[in-house]
């Protein structure tokens, strides 16, 4: 992605858990970091100065790009997860490859302006609204990959298997475009997508929408595809108690146990939400080294509940973060919310340090998306990093050595000043360099879906 080597001089940078002053970051032609040197008193000639605190790029491990069009609309009045889902289905029925490209391009640009350098797109809008396949069967996924390229963000397209509306139930009218008919047909389509060249900004992963959306006897097909392709595998897990109750009725076990029994759990797998778990569920997830992606702003917005994040990590799960439905796109808020929600749940403080939360938002999120060579500011890593201002009304005052604490517990996406991906300066002084007028792009693409 990088065309020419570039040198950046960071006023402060978070290196291996410590804030260091005057850090020189040299990037190479291959989009990786060539060298990092702390305490370089002055930026050399030609270096780009990054004021504030520079940290590894943030990883948004769980996204539904089209949900961004629901922001504000689904906050009117009251309602439940299920009434929210009805509105989501109506929106999904209006999208085409072209309109989804326009919307996703703007949403991914918004992400880079929030310091996000990689996104995991949990993608299940595969076909036409009535289930008819496009002439290019992966037209919708290809639109997302192209949108990410134009916005300057890395993407792991988590192509999602979604076959039923509930345990033993055929897809409903709004779900026809999600289904390939069988896990085998899903695997054939995704294999064709994975075989295509998408550029070094994109990787293809797999997802099981949920245990209610993929019949139990087809779960292993998806897991096997991910293993054969050495790809990440994600799955919505126990987001709602209704899903747990229905799974018990259908299979006599929890969703976590069902996934374990069919070989879905493991270090390649990330369970999203994992909100309503039994003690045995937590042991199964931790014992198999399954990761867990928490999405606190969505879980709060939909009144889903507070997941047992600290218990999961203590049992052996690696945690990552996602903005999911994009009620807001702010990974600093997601990290802060995970700690603050746990404080509310337990009435104790200090479950994670700021550095631990920052690692969750950076290195651990990238690893969950298959980008283990990102999320670190060190030689050989992908040259993806972002700078957070330390002189705004939210961040001014604390000592620079407390930059991680300031970023996690005070800063917001509005404090992001610079974002670099593969050595390219994608966001400069808060202005996106590839997508002009991002707010107008968002407003226009969303308005087009209302017409």
Average pLDDT, the chain: 96
Catalytic option among 64, 67, 273, 326: 273
To the query of whether residue 200 is one of the catalytic residues in this protein, the response is no
Question: Which pLDDT belongs to residue 260?
Answer: 98
Average pLDDT over residues 243-247: 97
Output the pLDDT for position 3: 59
Q: Are residues 334 and 319 in contact, defined by beta-carbon separation less than 8 angstroms? A: no
180, 301, 324, 415: the catalytic one is 324
What DSSP designation does 87 have?
H
- 273 flagged as catalytic: yes
* 210, pLDDT greater than 70: yes
Integer Cα distance of 105 and 102 in angstroms = 5
* pLDDT tens digits, 283-337: 999 999 999 999 999 999 999 999 999 999 999 999 999 999 999 999 999 999 9
Instruction: State yes or no: pLDDT of 418 exceeds 60.
Output: yes
Q: Span 196-219, mean pLDDT?
A: 96
Type and span of the H or E element at 104: helix 97-113
Q: For the whole model, what pTM was predicted?
A: 0.97
DSSP secondary structure string, 148-217? HHHHT-EEEEEEEE---SBTTB---GGGGGG--SSHHHHHHHHHHHHHS---TTEEEEEEE--TTTS-GG
Model confidence over 80-124: pLDDT tens digits? 777 888 888 999 999 999 999 999 999 999 999 999 999 999 999
pLDDT at 86: 85
Q: Per residue in 20-37, pLDDT tens?
A: 999 999 999 999 999 999
In this structure, are strands 269-273 and 431-432 parallel, antiparallel, or unpaired?
A: unpaired
**Can you state the percent helix, strand and coil of the chain, rounding each to 5?**
40, 25, 35
């Amino acid at each position: 992605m990088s065309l020419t080597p570039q040198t950046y001089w960071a006023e402060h940078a978070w290196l291996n858990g410590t804030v260091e002053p005057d850090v020189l970051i040299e990037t190479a032609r291959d989009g990786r970091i060539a060298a990092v040197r702390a305490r370089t008193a002055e930026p050399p000639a030609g270096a780009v100065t990054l004021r504030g605190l520079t940290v590894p790029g943030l990883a948004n491990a769980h996204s539904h790009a089209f949900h961004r069009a629901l922001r504000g609309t689904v906050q009117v009045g009251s309602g439940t997860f299920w009434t929210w889902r009805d509105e989501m289905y109506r929106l999904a029925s209006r999208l085409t490859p072209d309109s989804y490209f326009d919307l996703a391009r703007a949403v991914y640009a918004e992400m880079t302006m929030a310091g996000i350098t990689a996104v995991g797109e949990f993608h299940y809008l595969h076909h036409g609204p009535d289930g008819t396949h496009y002439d290019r069967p992966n037209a919708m996924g290809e639109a997302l990959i192209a949108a990410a390229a134009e916005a300057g963000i890395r993407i792991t397209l988590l192509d999602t298997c979604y076959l039923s509306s509930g345990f033993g139930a055929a897809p409903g009218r709004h779900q026809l475009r999600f289904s390939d008919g069988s896990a085998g047909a899903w695997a054939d389509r995704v294999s064709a997508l994975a075989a295509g060249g998408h550029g070094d900004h994109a990787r293809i992963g797999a997802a099981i929408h949920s245990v209610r959306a993929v019949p139990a006897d087809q779960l292993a097909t998806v897991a096997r595809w991910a293993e054969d392709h050495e790809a990440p595998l994600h799955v919505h897990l126990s987001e709602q108690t209704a899903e747990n109750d229905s799974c018990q009725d259908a299979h006599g076990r929890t969703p976590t146990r069902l996934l374990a029994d069919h070989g879905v759990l493991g270090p390649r797998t990330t369970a999203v939400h994992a909100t309503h778990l039994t003690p045995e569920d937590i042991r199964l997830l931790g014992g198999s080294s399954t990761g867990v992606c928490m999405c606190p702003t969505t879980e709060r917005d939909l009144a889903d509940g507070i997941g047992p994040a600290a218990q999961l990590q203590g049992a052996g799960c690696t945690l990552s973060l996602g903005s999911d439905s994009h009620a807001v796109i702010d990974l600093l808020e997601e990290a802060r919310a995970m700690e603050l929600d746990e404080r509310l749940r337990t009435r104790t403080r200090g479950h994670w340090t700021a550095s631990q939360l920052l690692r969750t938002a950076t290195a651990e999120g990238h690893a969950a998306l298959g980008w283990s060579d990102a999320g670190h500011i060190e030689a050989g890593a992908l040259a993806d990093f972002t700078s957070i201002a330390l002189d705004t009304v939210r961040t001014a005052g604390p000592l620079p050595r407390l930059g991680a604490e300031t970023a996690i517990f005070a800063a917001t996406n509005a404090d992001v000043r610079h974002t670099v991906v593969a050595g390219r300066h994608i966001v400069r002084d808060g202005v996106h360099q590839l997508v002009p007028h991002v707010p107008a792009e968002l407003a226009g693409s969303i308005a087009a879906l209302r017409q």
